[in-house]
Amino acid sequence: MDLRQIQYFICLYEEGSVTRAARRLSIVQPALSMQLARLEDDLGQKLFERNSQGMVPTAAARQMYRLFLPILQDFARAREQVMCSDGELTGHVNIGLIASITAGVLADTLSAFSARYPKVGVTIADGYSTTLSDWVTGGQIEAAVVNGVRRHGQLKVEHIIDEDLVLVTAAGHLSPPPARLTLQQVAQLGIALVLPTRNHGLRDVIDSFAHNEDVELAPVYEVDSLVTMTRLVESTQLATILPRIVVNERVEAGALQLHTVVSPRLTRQVVLVSHPRRPLSPASAAFVAILKAQILLKTQFPVPAS
């Protein structure tokens, strides 16, 4: 077994097709098939079953993928560090972000990063906090920015910010806008709510505060798409509870209005999780630094709430 065979195996596993894998590797299909046959002979294990859907991995292949993917990524990171020793950053960033961070700062982060490091590629995974943490553990991504409400196993956890959650309505919906609201008052206003589903990390945060205050928040709609939620609120009489970072731009445009919730103050913790035995590549470390700066910029100077 050599490094090239491992690279070919990883690519075939991820693509599920000899045709797509060969195209991704820029080799001819017979060469890929030959290397796979040699690898199976070396291991004494069949790694794929061929059917009408393509190449289906066996149990041995799934185990091999889990074991060898982090090794291949470690090799890639080591190569990046050697290549950027001349001062010019190269390589590839592969991290995950929860949807609220994607919506709030990703575009500005990518713009700033690409201007500074034009030779670095970036792949961003968007998902739930638990899913992203699992992907960091399994080596599919290097790091992830997630909600800190859940435990993250043996991962390294770095605090980024504690951010306020606010009640969001269409501009002029609550008139006159209340100066301050308790969570009890939010429930008593009789406003129909749209909230994330219970799989969503934000819903965990909201439900935790509601439970502690003995408040029942019964949303009319449960939607995980933050874009859809904000559009619904903007065009209807619905309200929602979201981090400021998600809606700041629409508030500045005059389409939405924020209402501060006190007693208790609603906050969510945003953290960076990474694997303790897999340091971030130079490219990923640079991207995370710009991302954190953008998060702090967008949350330190929020649009005022009523």
pTM of the full structure: 0.71
Task: Check pLDDT > 60 for residue 85.
Answer: no
pLDDT at 206: 93
User: What three-state secondary structure class fits 276?
Assistant: coil
Q: What is the pLDDT of residues 90-121, one digit of tens each?
A: 888 999 999 999 998 999 999 999 999 998 99
Whether residue 90 is found in the same domain as residue 149? yes
Whether residue 200 is found in the same domain as residue 264? yes
Rounded to whole angstroms, the maximal C-alpha distance in the chain is: 75
Whether residue 103 is found in the same domain as residue 137? yes
Whether residue 23 is found in the same domain as residue 47? yes
Whether residue 259 is found in the same domain as residue 173? yes
Whether residue 154 is found in the same domain as residue 173? no
pLDDT at 304: 60
pLDDT at 121: 92
Whether residue 251 is found in the same domain as residue 106? no
Whether residue 258 is found in the same domain as residue 274? no
Q: Is the dihedral of CA 247, 250, 256, 258 positive or negative?
A: positive
Q: What is the CATH number of the domain that holds 47?
A: 1.10.10.10
Identify the domain containing residue 256 by its residue range: 162-268
Q: What is the CATH number of the domain that holds 210?
A: 3.40.190.290
Domain-embedded: residue 139: yes
pLDDT at 80: 65
Of 206 and 91, the one with more pLDDT: 206
Q: What is the pLDDT of residues 238-277, one digit of tens each?
A: 999 999 899 988 998 999 999 989 888 899 999 999 988 7
Q: What percent of the chain has pLDDT over 90?
A: 41
pLDDT at 228: 94
pLDDT at 150: 65
Are 256 and 232 in contact by the 8 Å Cβ rule? The answer is no
Of 75-84, 173-182, 273-282, 295-304, the range with the highest mean pLDDT is 273-282
Q: What is the CATH number of the domain that holds 98?
A: 3.40.190.10
Please state, as a whole number, how many other Cβ atoms lie within 10 Å of the Cβ of residue 154: 9
The count of domains in the chain is 3
Task: Check pLDDT > 70 for residue 216.
Answer: yes
Distance CA 27, CA 301 (A): 51
Whether residue 261 is found in the same domain as residue 273? no
Task: Check pLDDT > 80 for residue 87.
Answer: no
Whether residue 180 is found in the same domain as residue 230? yes
Distance CA 179, CA 156 (A): 40
pLDDT at 301: 56
Domain-embedded: residue 305: no
Q: State residue 188 phi and psi, 5-degree precision.
A: -85, -10
- Per-residue DSSP letters for 38-91? HHHHHHTS--EEEETTEEEE-HHHHHHHHHHHHHHHHHHHHHHHHHGGGS---E
Domain-embedded: residue 136: yes
